[in-house]
């Protein structure tokens, strides 16, 4: 069971949005916060990413092949130099065209090209595997680092530089896959020794099988004891280990995943409420509706109608 893929799929509300940004020094672009997660890929040239806010870190230099992921889609500035005065992205005109829109700005100096965009993720109820990521992830792909991510960046660059037959389908698919490549690279960067949180949980010989069991079969009447048996640990030892790594007790996570699965079924399928209840471990529609309303603040039917209208 690929828990990372499942967790991201449960949060996605739409396909990613992206724009190619071509700048010539001097250039600067102020990007507003987005409802999801932001990303940038440096196709060629160099630039700086400047976080904003009182607690923001200093400017971050970016080079060809670098990838940046902003977990909460926070506002920031991209520029050829930290001292360049930026323009607001909302005031810029994006030129249409396949396979992706293009934004051009700046003067007549050194060129830089980036792929900038956002993943539409439900930040109202983020899965903890995403919520506990760093606010900003910077992944250089030069010098043989993260070869799969580097390959995806190179493929994107080639398609954007020279669009050909099939590019309209290839580019969105690559941008979509890029999110998994980014997060895989970050998790694999975390040292096996001393890793904590989800970076450790997804590798742990006791916690990872329990998480996989919950994801594979959320309707199963799991208990702490039955999950601990699968892990080969005592009930108390398993509960402590699971809670330490995942950030919540096993039964709380089970309820979270059942409700996350139910919400996804309500958004994406026509399954009747009795079927949704059965698929998420509730013996009756009434019990399911009560649990769902406690978690989401509204009844399943109302949630489905609102999701379809959005």
Strands 47-51 and 136-139: unpaired
Q: Torsion angle, CA of 179/215/253/283, rounded to 10 degrees?
A: 140
Answer whether 3-189 and 199-309 agree in fold. no
Residues with Cβ within 8 Å of 294's Cβ and at least 6 positions away in sequence, in order, are none
Domain 3-189 has CATH 2.60.120.10: yes
Q: Which of helix, strand or coil describes residue 20?
A: strand
* pLDDT score recorded for residue 213: 95
Number of C-beta neighbours around residue 238 at 10 A:
22
Q: Determine the Cα–Cα distance for residues 18 and 21; give it in Å rounded to an integer.
A: 9
104 touches 81 (CB < 8 A): no
Number of C-beta neighbours around residue 164 at 10 A:
10
List the chain domain ranges: 3-189, 199-309
* pLDDT score recorded for residue 132: 87
Q: Determine the Cα–Cα distance for residues 56 and 218; give it in Å rounded to an integer.
A: 39
Percent of the chain with pLDDT over 70: 97
Q: Determine the Cα–Cα distance for residues 258 and 15; give it in Å rounded to an integer.
A: 24
Q: Report the candidate in 23, 25, 192 with the shortest Cα–Cα distance to residue 116.
A: 23
**What average pLDDT does the structure give for the chain?**
92
CA angle centred on 274, ends 270 and 279, rounded to 5°: 80
* pLDDT score recorded for residue 193: 57
56 pLDDT tier (thresholds 50, 70, 90): low
Domain 199-309 is classified in which CATH homologous superfamily?
Answer: Homeodomain-like (1.10.10.60)
Percent of the chain with pLDDT over 90: 76
* pLDDT score recorded for residue 99: 80
Write out pLDDT tens, residues 263-308. Answer: 999 999 999 999 999 999 999 999 999 999 999 999 999 999 998 8
124 pLDDT tier (thresholds 50, 70, 90): confident
54 pLDDT tier (thresholds 50, 70, 90): low
Write out pLDDT tens, residues 178-233. Answer: 999 999 999 988 876 556 789 899 989 999 999 999 999 999 999 999 999 988 99
Q: Determine the Cα–Cα distance for residues 100 and 20; give it in Å rounded to an integer.
A: 7
């Amino acid at each position: 069971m690929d828990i990372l893929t499942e967790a991201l799929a449960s949060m996605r509300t739409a396909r990613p949005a992206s724009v190619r940004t071509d700048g010539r020094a001097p250039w600067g672009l102020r990007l507003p916060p987005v409802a999801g997660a932001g990303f940038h890929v440096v196709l060629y040239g160099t630039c700086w990413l400047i976080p904003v806010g009182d607690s923001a870190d200093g400017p971050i230099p970016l080079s060809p092949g670098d990838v940046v992921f902003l977990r909460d889609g926070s506002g920031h500035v991209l520029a050829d130099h930290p001292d360049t005065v930026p323009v607001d992205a909302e005031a810029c005109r994006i030129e249409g065209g396949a396979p992706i829109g293009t934004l051009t700005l700046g003067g007549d100096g050194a060129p830089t090209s980036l792929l900038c965009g956002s993943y539409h993720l439900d930040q109202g109820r983020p899965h903890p595997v995403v919520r506990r990521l760093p606010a900003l992830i910077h992944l250089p792909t030069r010098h043989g680092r993260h070869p799969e991510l580097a390959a995806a960046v190179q493929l994107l660059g080639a398609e954007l530089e020279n669009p050909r037959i099939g590019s309209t389908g290839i580019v969105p698919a690559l941008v979509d896959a890029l999110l998994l490549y980014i997060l895989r690279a970050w998790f694999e960067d975390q040292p096996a020794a001393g890793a904590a949180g989800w970076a450790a949980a997804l590798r742990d010989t006791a916690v990872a099988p329990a998480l996989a069991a919950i994801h594979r079969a959320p309707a199963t009447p799991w208990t702490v004891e039955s999950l601990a048996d699968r892990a080969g640990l005592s009930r108390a030892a398993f509960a402590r280990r699971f809670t330490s790594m995942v950030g919540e007790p096993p039964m709380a996570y089970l309820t979270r995943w059942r409700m996350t699965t139910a919400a996804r079924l309500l958004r994406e399928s026509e399954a009747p409420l009795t079927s949704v209840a059965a698929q998420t471990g509730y013996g009756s529609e009434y019990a399911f509706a009560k649990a769902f309303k406690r978690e989401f603040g509204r009844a399943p039917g109302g949630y489905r109608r609102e999701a379809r209208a959005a």
